[in-house]
Amino acid sequence: MDLVLDIRKKLGNFDVQVRFSTDCKRIGILGPSGSGKSMTLKMIAGIESPDDGKICFGERVLFDRKRRINMKPQKRKVGYLFQNYALFPNMTVEQNIGCGLKKQERKEVADRMIEKFHIGELRNRMPGMLSGGQQQRVALARIMAQSPDLILLDEPFSALDVYRKDQLQRQMEDFLSDYAGSVVLVSHDRDEIYRFCDELCVINEGHVDAFGETERIFRLPETETAARLTGCKNVIPVERMDAHRVLAAEWGVTFHFRTEVPQETRHIGIRAHDFLPVWGGQKENCIPVGIYRSAKLPFETKYYISPAEANGQEPVCWFIQRNRMEEILEKGMPDYLEVDEEKVMFLR
């Protein structure tokens, strides 16, 4: 079903202005903290009202300012998974699952959900006695009991440690795999988004920065924010000199390209893994290595290198995997970092 979103709401010192429409069933919203992505989700659910615009899902108009439609959250058939799961602490697991159902169907639907989510042994427990993973299962069961057309996931894994996060993500994948409705996941974590979402909306300071297939945006982000949020560590302002050259003043380097540099290029992005170490003579598109700092991680080493001729403060961020460290240990730090022009992303 199509999700059509065109909403505006004043929030603090900026306007949240989100507009996209899609028939994709797994949609991600990626943005830094405070960019308005949670607010967007709350407006879809009807917890908050937009100042202007409209929200449609399938045939149904959930909100339309012009037609004075503002459907109550109770009627929207939209499930919302909160980061802390928001289970009612005064009700048992079974009561939590059945709380929004009519009396006649309560028992039957709750039984079905309890079986589906394998929480039979938790049936009579209070939420305070459950682990995080169990709470998430109960919260999902409670949402599914309403058979919603659309499920909203609001940073569902952000407060978890790495090990538990992966566990809960697998659990979530299992439960969503046979869900026929649409899912919108909000997160500031690119891995999460990449894992769950087929289409992606990048939001920054309340505005849609990029929208499209997740895979494409990760491979070829077109904007500075999209590049940063999809994990590109080196995003620097450049000056387009002509169709084949750009000047990166921060690094004191001029890059040459055989392909044409797009007219609107204002930044370039280079992923931290994409540099090639060069010892000896300088080639084209090489950054001279100056002073550097390093940080060792379990499976890779990070270098923060100030280019020798740089006149800016922005260091070059270079990640090198452990199995390739031997070369560095043997030959010492490279003299240059070479940039393959095919790996450079042109950004607005």
Where do contacts with another protein occur on this chain (CB under 8 A)? 42, 45-47, 72-76, 78-80, 82, 84, 86, 88-91, 99-101, 127-129, 142-143, 146
Question: Least distance in Å: CB of 71 to another protein?
Answer: 12
Nearer to another protein, 127 or 288 (CB): 127
Question: What residues does 296 pair with on adjacent strands?
Answer: 301
Nearer to another protein, 35 or 146 (CB): 146
Give CA angle at 168 (165, 169), nearest 5°: 80
Question: Least distance in Å: CB of 146 to another protein?
Answer: 6
Give the whole-angstrom CA distance, residue 200 versus residue 193: 8
Residue 303 burial (C-beta neighbours within 10 Å; 0-12, 13-18, 19+) = buried
Please say whether the beta carbons of 36 and 186 come within 8 A.
no
Chain-centroid distance of CA 149 in Å reads 22
Question: Least distance in Å: CB of 83 to another protein?
Answer: 8
- What is the torsional sign of CA 137, 143, 147, 153? negative
Question: What residues does 212 pair with on adjacent strands?
Answer: 200
Give the whole-angstrom CA distance, residue 213 versus residue 201: 9
Nearer to another protein, 77 or 188 (CB): 77
Nearer to another protein, 137 or 267 (CB): 137
DSSP class of residue 6 equals E
Question: Least distance in Å: CB of 35 to another protein?
Answer: 20
Nearer to another protein, 126 or 176 (CB): 126
Strands 14-22 and 26-30: unpaired
**CA distances (Å), 296 to each of 129, 143, 301, 324, 337, in order?**
39, 43, 5, 13, 19
Question: Least distance in Å: CB of 48 to another protein?
Answer: 9
Nearer to another protein, 79 or 269 (CB): 79
Question: Least distance in Å: CB of 49 to another protein?
Answer: 13
Q: Hey, what's the torsion of the CAs at 257, 259, 260, 265, to 10 degrees?
A: -60
Question: Least distance in Å: CB of 102 to another protein?
Answer: 9
Considering just the CA atoms, what is the radius of gyration of the chain in Å? 24
Question: Least distance in Å: CB of 132 to another protein?
Answer: 13
Nearer to another protein, 141 or 210 (CB): 141
**212 torsion bin: left (phi>0), alpha (psi -120 to 50), beta (else):** left
Nearer to another protein, 74 or 263 (CB): 74
